[in-house]
Amino acid sequence: MNTHETNEMDLMESIVLSLNKKMRLFEPVLETIEEGIEICDENGNILYANNNFFKLSGIKKEERLHKNIFDVHPEGVLVEILRTKQPKVNIVTATPGRIGEAFTSGYPLFAGGDFLGAVIIIKDLSQTIDISRKYNKQQTYLTEIYRNTAKFVVSDIVCEEPKMKELVQKILELSDILEPVVLQGETGVGKSMFAEAIHLHSSRNDSPFIRFNCSKYTDKEVKYLLFGYEKNAFPEASRTKIGLLELASKGTLYLDHIDRLSLATQTEIVHALTEKVVKRIGSTLPIPIEPRIVASMNTKLEELYENGLISDMMFHYLKANTLEIIPLRERKKDIPNLVDVFIKEYKQEYGKPIKGITKEAISILTEYQWSGNIRELKNIISRIVLNAKDEIISKELVIECLPFDFGDRKHQGLMSLQEAEKKAISRALDYYGHTLKGKKQAAEMLNVSLGTLYNKMREYNI
């Protein structure tokens, strides 16, 4: 070996020793960072990978170190960098040795214009993405709830009757207080419309208005829906669900038929509302809440309390602000305007060229007692418009569309036994609900068997 070759080998040995020294210096630094790092030369030989690379990817060291990336992961980002010599930044990738996702960035390595190899840096995103997906699911749930928001304002309420004008003024006065409001009145008087108006005239009108029909659910379902639950809190809880008390925290929660809740559940709700915290089922973490409550019922609050259908705590929580929604039969002056509103609505829906209604027809509709209130009036007008053959609605058409022959009865309160039976069943089901539990309660109240109730429902097409 000549002197030149010896000097060259000494130089190479010196360079290798220098590189090893630098690597020993840099390795501890690379091991301290949270990201995973993998480095290879221009030919794809893997030179280095820190422990976090193996930890985040789930790949074993013997599967990568001293291997060639073209052999062990030919479809990966590192191979793409070697081929293109272009950087790839913030690519979401599935880590090959683990169920999960990562942000991967890859960079070509140059020195003095020479291509030396490539490096990839991976950051674990599984937790971040999981949180993001949960948030998106909850946002979807929120969107579904918000679709059920308020649309009626005070100007939508027909109120020529002095009592109704007083009621509308009271609604405006109560809108901006945080105290609960009770709406009581017969079925069909429009309690939900008044609840929406209270919300939309309040300072919370840019937050959700959530209506919840307490009569539609079992006691257990009510608690799940109002309080929410954590994932795996019970066998069916496949994911965390936010309760309505929490969702309505900055808005209004309208509890329809609140008297259908068990006394124990009523008390739990009042506890949460007065303490301004809720705990999801399966969690001990208190979550701050402050929803505004509007509650409704078909019977007066005091009467329900005296009959044991409202708990002590709920009664005292609600009693300060109660509004009585008067029945339609006591709003004679409002009926012509309501008829006009509903005719306009249904002639557009059914494509009917209706231009008006006769005074005689309006007179009949005004004299009718409307036991089903505005809901019944709306259904009758729908039937009238659907059956109209002429541009002007006649007295005869109105009589034909009423539940019984109005023209032959001097006293509208009189009706056939079948009509009275049908009305009694309908009212009982409206009060107790159409669930199996509600039907059992309705049958008990009507003093008939459940089988008889079902037969009558089929007979009267209820």
Q: Tens of pLDDT along 124-133?
A: 655 554 544 5
Q: Tens of pLDDT along 93-142?
A: 555 444 445 677 888 888 777 888 899 988 765 555 454 455 555 555 55
Percent of the chain whose pLDDT exceeds 90: 36
pLDDT value at position 414?
Answer: 56
Is the whole model's pTM more than 0.75, yes or no?
Answer: no
pLDDT value at position 19?
Answer: 54
Q: Tens of pLDDT along 22-60?
A: 656 677 777 888 888 999 999 899 988 999 888 887 788
Q: Tens of pLDDT along 181-236?
A: 999 999 889 999 999 999 988 888 888 888 899 988 899 999 999 999 998 888 88
Q: Tens of pLDDT along 339-367?
A: 999 999 999 888 999 999 999 999 999 98
Per-residue H/E/C for the chain: CCHHHHHHHHHHHHHHHHHHHHHHHHHHHHHHCCCEEEEEECCCEEEEECHHHHHHHCCCHHHCCCCEHHHHCCCCHHHHHHHHCCCEEEEEEECCCCCCEEEEEEEEEEECCEEEEEEEEEEECHHHHHHHHHHHHHHHHHHHHHCCCCCCCHHHCCCCCHHHHHHHHHHHHHCCCCCCEEEECCCCCCHHHHHHHHHHCCCCCCCCEEEEEHHHCCHHHHHHHHHEECCCCCCCCCCCEECHHHHCCCCEEEEECHHHCCHHHHHHHHHHHHHCEECCECCCCCEECCCEEEEEECCCHHHHHHCCCCCHHHHHHHCCCEEECCCHHHCHHHHHHHHHHHHHHHHHHHCCCCCEECHHHHHHHHHCCCCCHHHHHHHHHHHHHHHCCCCEECHHHHHHHCCCCHHHCCCCCCCCHHHHHHHHHHHHHHHHCCCHHHHHHHHHHHCCCHHHHHHHHHHCCC
